[in-house]
Amino acid sequence: MPRATSPSDIVYVEVFDNPNVNTNIGDVNNDNEVNIADVTALIDFLLSQDSSGINMDNADVNQDQEVNIADVTSLIDKLLAGN
């Protein structure tokens, strides 16, 4: 791949070559659906810090690289918004 030569090239590479693009945000329990069970799973994880069965990438609903109570709020907002 040629080296990026301008800032716009760098942005393009980051957006389109990023393997971490997540299309299943909010599916905390990894069952391919985003619903109230994911809110429960996320709260359970926060209380227990036991990440077994938890998809941490999907659990970071607000995409700030941390999984915390703010993601519960974001997940509920997402469910209420229906998307």
| CA 83 to each of CA 23, 32, 78: distance values in angstroms, whole numbers, following the listed order | 12, 14, 6
Residue 4 or 37 having the CB closest to Ca ion: 37
* Residue 62 binds Ca ion, judged by CB under 5 A: yes
Burial of 79 (0-12, 13-18, 19+ CB in 10 A): middle
Q: Can you tell me which of 25, 29, 39, 42 binds Ca ion, judged by CB under 5 A? A: 29
* Residue 27 binds Ca ion, judged by CB under 5 A: yes
Q: Please name the amino acid found at residue 76.
A: I
Interface with Ca ion (CB under 5 A):
27, 29, 31, 33, 38, 60, 62, 64, 66, 71
